[in-house]
Amino acid sequence: MLITAAILAIFVYGIIAAMLGSILPDLSKKFNLTPKQNGSIAMGQAIGLMAGSFFVGPLIDVEGVKVGLLLGLALIVAALLGLRGAGGFGSIAAFLVMLGVGGGIVVVGSNGLPPFIHLGSISTAGVFNILNLFFGLGGLVTPLVAARLFRNNSSKLLVFAAAITAATVAFCAITEMPAPSGKVSFDFSEAGALLATPALLLLSLILFVYVACEVGVWNWLVRHLIAQGVPEAQALTVLSLGFALGLLLGRVAVSPILTGVSPEHVLTGAAVLMAVTTYLMLQSGNPTLAWVLVFLGGIAMAPVFPTTLAIVSARFPAMAATATGIAVTAGWFGLVVSSPIIGGIAGADPKRLKKALLLIPAASVIMLVVSFGV
């Protein structure tokens, strides 16, 4: 039941991660939202993610994973149903902040379960990777259901997602989960000491750089390929069946490798492969070659997020949730800054995206250097 609870929670977050992109076109038409308002809404969700992941760590360390998960999932249900009845920009923005807070809590809570899950000879870092592939699955399912089943009707999609999340709340409520870390109170000075720990700072920097790279691909690859002459439909296919599929399969493939190779070495190898594959995928305007290179880029990126969280959990067992929350918050900050920087470099000329997106392989090199200090 613990494995199922972890899978469901991570799957729900995958749904939430893809939700804004799936509902925003319909909401924009319905309420005449401007691009500036769309950007503010997205920023609000990102700020919510940062707040939720940062502040829930102490709660989980004191009260246990179940309390954190139930809180985060309940906030998600409330936000999804609230969005269905939203009356305009203000209420949409408020519920997206709530959705972000709930999502940040669920990410930290669900990633507190893998150390207590045993899958034969698979290492703990391998379990982190296997469970986090369901995040990618949720991200794939949401736009497909939105387009094929609900014909881009945001109201129906929101009810669908709320129903799945409510079922996850019920399942988590009846599932026995790990007890708190043993602390009966929480001293915020200890969290401050964690923030000054070199190992945690380096791991947080890795997540910051990694999330900035991944978001850069999600948000800008299609526009880059179109600027290189690739038809829009093929560019979208390269993203979904190239990058997303690579992320899914990469997390499956790396799990047995982590049985015999340390997580730290896997991070270093992933950084090398990221630098090479992301540079090469920006050089080709051929759809088939681009798909292959983007797929390999997805495989290279796949182990970074869950493997980093596995290292954080192993290095700081007494305050695992707080340390995880700090590292994940750094990752969300990468989400906040990535697209504005890339967009600022590209300006109004889509052809300049190729130059702007070279930040991704450059950031991968930075991640490689940082990984040597972990």
Q: Where are the domains of the chain?
A: 1-179, 189-374
- Per-residue pLDDT tens digits for 105-149: 999 999 989 888 888 888 889 999 988 889 888 877 887 788 778
Token output for 28: 């924009």
Q: What is the pLDDT of residue 184?
A: 47
Over residues 316-341, mean pLDDT: 87
The answer to whether 133 and 78 have CB atoms below 8 angstroms apart is: no
Query: Which residue's structure tokens are 């047995």?
Result: 256
d(CA 278, CA 160): 35
Fold exhibited by the domain 1-179? Growth Hormone; Chain: A; (1.20.1250)
Confidence of residue 364 (pLDDT cuts 50, 70, 90): very high
* 189-374 maps to CATH 1.20.1250.20: yes
Nearest to 296 by CA among 242, 252, 221, 223: 242
Confidence of residue 363 (pLDDT cuts 50, 70, 90): very high
Domains 1-179 and 189-374 fall in the same CATH topology: yes
- Per-residue pLDDT tens digits for 39-91: 788 888 889 999 999 888 888 888 889 999 999 999 999 999 999 998 889 99
Other C-beta atoms lying within 10 Å of the C-beta of residue 29: 11
- Per-residue pLDDT tens digits for 176-227: 988 776 554 555 556 667 777 899 999 999 999 999 998 888 878 888 888 8
Look at residue 6 and tell me whether its pLDDT is greater than 80: yes
Look at residue 25 and tell me whether its pLDDT is greater than 80: no
Nearest to 370 by CA among 326, 311, 296: 311
Give me the chain's average pLDDT, please: 88
The answer to whether 272 and 153 have CB atoms below 8 angstroms apart is: no
d(CA 361, CA 297): 10
**pLDDT higher for 189 or 288?**
288
Could you tell me how many residues make up the chain? 374
Q: Side chain identity at 144, as an amino acid letter?
A: L
Other C-beta atoms lying within 10 Å of the C-beta of residue 125: 30
Nearest to 346 by CA among 175, 167, 173, 226: 226
Please enumerate in sequence order all residues whose Cβ is within 8 A of that of 147, keeping only pairs 6 or more positions apart, or say none.
Answer: none
d(CA 319, CA 187): 11
Please enumerate in sequence order all residues whose Cβ is within 8 A of that of 265, keeping only pairs 6 or more positions apart, or say none.
Answer: none
pTM over 0.75: yes
CA angle 344, 50, 45 (to 5 degrees): 65
Q: What is the pLDDT of residue 182?
A: 56
Over residues 24-30, mean pLDDT: 84
**pLDDT higher for 70 or 21?**
70
Token output for 183: 């602390």
Sign of CA dihedral 4, 51, 143, 278: negative
11 Ramachandran zone, left/alpha/beta (phi>0; psi -120 to 50)? alpha
Q: What is the pLDDT of residue 42?
A: 82
Q: What is the pLDDT of residue 19?
A: 85
- Per-residue pLDDT tens digits for 272-284: 999 999 999 998 8
Q: What is the pLDDT of residue 238?
A: 83
Q: What is the pLDDT of residue 219?
A: 77
Nearest to 88 by CA among 145, 144, 151, 40: 40
Look at residue 231 and tell me whether its pLDDT is greater than 50: yes
